[in-house]
Amino acid sequence: MLDYPLLAALAAVIRTGSFERAARQLHVTPSAVSQRVKLLEERLGTVLVVRGQPCTGTAAGQRLCQHVEQVVLLESELRGTLPGLSPADGPVTLRIAVNADSLATWFVAAMAEVPSCLFDLVLDDQDHSAEWLRKGEVLAAVTASAAPVPGCNSHPLGALRYRATASPGYMRRHFADGVTAESLAGAPCLTFNRKDRLQIQWLRLVLSDPDPARIPTPPTHWLPSTHAFVDGALAGLGWGMNPDPLVADHLAAGRLVELLPGRPLDVPLYWQQSRISGAALAELSRAVLRAGRQALHAADGDEREDGSAESPSAR
Amino acid sequence: MLDYPLLAALAAVIRTGSFERAARQLHVTPSAVSQRVKLLEERLGTVLVVRGQPCTGTAAGQRLCQHVEQVVLLESELRGTLPGLSPADGPVTLRIAVNADSLATWFVAAMAEVPSCLFDLVLDDQDHSAEWLRKGEVLAAVTASAAPVPGCNSHPLGALRYRATASPGYMRRHFADGVTAESLAGAPCLTFNRKDRLQIQWLRLVLSDPDPARIPTPPTHWLPSTHAFVDGALAGLGWGMNPDPLVADHLAAGRLVELLPGRPLDVPLYWQQSRISGAALAELSRAVLRAGRQALHAADGDEREDGSAESPSAR
DNA sequence: AACATGGATTAGCCCCGCTTCATCGGAGGA
DNA sequence: TCCTCCGATGAAGCGGGGCTAATCCATGTT
């Protein structure tokens, strides 16, 4: 068996980002942590931690850290069937990949239902969620891609409804003569990041022009923050696809209006969980599916339209 | 994190069945092992090992032992991606449930292709294989029940072909006037154990009488050993369903004959592997599926007949 | 009844890993 | 440029955890 006191120190350093915090977590002095990590590095003949602010793991270090976390997860399951084993030295931390808009709308509700464990959330902006799942770097993911990661249980969550919204002032400025392909081509829109294709998809949907060349490509602001995105629309910076739960109040109050009322874009979301460690995730999974059912729209949207054949990549 | 040196000692005792052998395996004295286990028991306030010949684990002890093995498995995967970690203190032992006839025919060929790990085979006579898989006591199983254990990958292997065989002398004694329902009712047959329903199934198949009450229940010998089963047929004790690979030579040489030539019973087999630890099992899985394809018959038997709706429970 | 086997116990020692304290190095600021 | 602070590292020294060795004890055997 491996030397787990040593490995635990390494994992603590990489997770907390500093020798000092790791020491506090392990209830020893920083020197002890340093010695443990050093010893591990000498035995392996490799650098495991890149010293810096914060300290991070090298490839090998991260792999070891990941192993430690898998073992900790197994331990938490063990504790479930064998109470009184030994006081857990801290609640389990589940690393989960979530897309930004889910995090901003419904996901925290699910997290709140599982107060017994900690979360280490990773935003999958870069669409790395599938890769992370495959490599075991996250235990589960909320993803917009239905593409099933091999060996993972995939559950449909429902669809997050996006509405094309802008401020009334913006509407007067740019769409006084109606929302047409021409006016859309000149009106600035908001885009979350390079991967965000929601605006384009909506355009394609509502213009229903099969020729992609005739879909306008409006000038755009880049706003990689869900709430900044809403604020951008409120401020009249541009129009953008915003999650329904975030703009419902603004729409009701008239601070925002839909470009084309009743033409939302539904993006189906999926909950994928790695096969490693079923039991530890079971509670969270239940909560996520419940929260998803509550906040999202059933796969067959009751209003109309979903993301067409090309699977929309949610933010 | 748990105290793994202590747990390793416990697991070694339970697996080897004695403190002395455990000590040899861990390169320490039996006293050290005894102290480790004792300490663990004191900390938990529970007995973990029932001292005896051999030593076995209590429920709690077995659960801990199982945890250790899961961790060891994770370690073996870690070693795969991180060579030079530390010399593995012994090859990994994979605990697999296999039905007796598979073990006697084709399964060892698959094992031989994976010389890098050790095997701890469990015969699933009692049809506990599903339960074992669910509880994580075995990592994978060759089972005759298609019933998919939740959370397990299940692959069809093909069908093991059984032939109703007896010695020529036996045939003359009991079936001189032909194999009929009447003669079958009086001719002694062989049965592997209380769970073995192959003979009954074959009778139902060949007599094709929908009324189960009219299926004869011949007098039977109980022979819970695959090779003894063949020997029993050779010796003229009775007739029985024997795996084709074991009796092909005898049939060709005339030492055995089929009760009804060309009327075999095909029992489909499945390879189910637990979700824990994919990579460590991957090589074995490939070998098993390859060996299965070679030795077994494709699901759609090319000769005729399979086990009907009621899934046959192979031995 | 003596013996063999295998686990438990105890004493004692050694070494491992911790703390304490000093040092070093880099980042940020006057 | 020098100073200062923070945080990682190194050396020394101590304490205890865990080992070995020797003995004890229970069980079952000849």
Distance between CA B299 and CA A100 in Å, rounded? 47
CA distances from A6 to A24, A36, A68, A290, B207 (A): 15, 5, 10, 40, 68
Residue reference for tokens 């022009």: A209
Contact between residue A80 and residue A64 where contact means Cβ atoms under 8 Å apart: no
Indicate yes or no: CB of A71 within 8 angstroms of CB of B68: no
Contact between residue A305 and residue A265 where contact means Cβ atoms under 8 Å apart: yes
Predicted structure pTM score: 0.76
Is the pLDDT at B141 greater than 60, yes or no? yes
Contacts of A119 (CB under 8 A, 6+ apart): A93, A94, A95, A96, A111
pLDDT for res B282: 82
Q: What φ, ψ does residue B246 adopt, rounded to 5°?
A: -85, -20
Is the pLDDT at A67 greater than 50, yes or no? yes
Q: Among partner residues A68, A74, A153, which is closest to B70 by beta-carbon distance?
A: A74
pLDDT 10s digits, B191-202: 887 678 888 889
CA distances from A212 to A200, B116, B195 (A): 10, 55, 65
Cα A85 off chain centre by: 34
pLDDT for res A261: 94
Side-chain half-sphere exposure of B30, counting CA atoms within 13 A? 6
Task: Provide the percentage of residues in chain B whose pLDDT is more than 70.
Answer: 87
Indicate yes or no: CB of A75 within 8 angstroms of CB of B1: yes
B28 CB neighbours strand D below 7 A: yes
A32 CB neighbours strand C below 7 A: yes
For chain B, what is the largest distance between any 2 Cα atoms, rounded to a whole number of angstroms?
73
Q: Is A224 helix (H, G, I), strand (E, B) or coil?
A: coil
Average pLDDT over residues A189-203: 84
Residue reference for tokens 């209590």: B58
Average pLDDT over residues A48-76: 88
pLDDT 10s digits, B231-266: 889 988 889 999 999 999 999 999 999 999 999 999
A2 CB neighbours strand C below 7 A: no
Domains of chain B with CATH codes: 1-74 (1.10.10.10), 161-266 (3.40.190.10)
Distance between CA B2 and CA A85 in Å, rounded? 9
pLDDT for res B302: 37
Contacts of A83 (CB under 8 A, 6+ apart): none
Closest CA to B136 of B158, B157, B114, B151: B151
Average pLDDT over residues B2-24: 90
pLDDT for res A308: 39
Q: Which residues of A touch B5 (CB under 8 A)?
A: 1
Distance between CA B291 and CA B269 in Å, rounded? 12
A18 CB neighbours strand C below 7 A: no
Show the beta-strand stretches assigned E in chain A.
Answer: 49-50, 56-57, 93-98, 118-123, 140-143, 152-166, 189-191, 220-222, 240-243, 257-258, 265-274
Task: Provide the percentage of residues in chain B whose pLDDT is more than 90.
Answer: 21
Strand C positions within 7 A of protein Cβ atoms: 6-11, 17-22, 27
CA distances from B171 to B168, B201, B240 (A): 5, 20, 12
Average pLDDT over residues B273-284: 74
Distance between CA A226 and CA A234 in Å, rounded? 13
Check CB contact of A86 with chain B, cutoff 8 Å: yes
Mean pLDDT score of chain A: 83
Average pLDDT over residues A25-50: 89
Query: pLDDT-based confidence at A169, cuts 50/70/90?
Result: very high
Instruction: Judge if the upstream peptide bond of residue B54 is cis by omega within 30 degrees of 0.
Output: yes
Closest CA to A148 of A271, A65, A240: A271
pLDDT for res A133: 81
Instruction: Judge if the upstream peptide bond of residue B115 is cis by omega within 30 degrees of 0.
Output: no
Task: Between B85 and A182, name the one with better pLDDT.
Answer: A182
Contact between residue A98 and residue A107 where contact means Cβ atoms under 8 Å apart: yes
Q: Which residues of B touch A63 (CB under 8 A)?
A: 78, 81-82
Is the pLDDT at A113 greater than 50, yes or no? yes
Indicate yes or no: CB of A67 within 8 angstroms of CB of B74: yes
pLDDT 10s digits, B16-40: 888 888 888 888 888 899 889 888 8
pLDDT for res B277: 62
Strand D positions within 7 A of protein Cβ atoms: 7-11, 18-22
Task: Between B87 and A217, name the one with better pLDDT.
Answer: A217
pLDDT for res A17: 87
pLDDT 10s digits, B90-112: 677 888 888 888 888 888 888 88
Distance between CA A137 and CA A33 in Å, rounded? 24
Classify the phi-psi angles of B182: left when phi > 0, otherwise alpha if psi is within -120 to 50, otherwise beta.
alpha
pLDDT for res B165: 95
Query: pLDDT-based confidence at B306, cuts 50/70/90?
Result: very low
Check CB contact of B81 with chain A, cutoff 8 Å: yes
Q: Is A140 helix (H, G, I), strand (E, B) or coil?
A: strand
pLDDT for res B307: 36
Mean pLDDT score of chain B: 83
Residue A83 burial (C-beta neighbours within 10 Å; 0-12, 13-18, 19+): exposed
Task: Between A178 and B217, name the one with better pLDDT.
Answer: A178
* Of A2-16, A118-132, B131-145, the least confident: A118-132
For chain B positions 14-43, those within 8 Å of chain A (CB to CB) are 43
Q: What φ, ψ does residue A297 adopt, rounded to 5°?
A: -100, 140
Side-chain half-sphere exposure of B206, counting CA atoms within 13 A? 22
Indicate yes or no: CB of B64 within 8 angstroms of CB of A82: yes
Distance B14 CA to C18 C1' (A): 33
Check CB contact of A148 with chain B, cutoff 8 Å: no
Distance A25 CA to D5 C1' (A): 23
Contact between residue B242 and residue B105 where contact means Cβ atoms under 8 Å apart: no
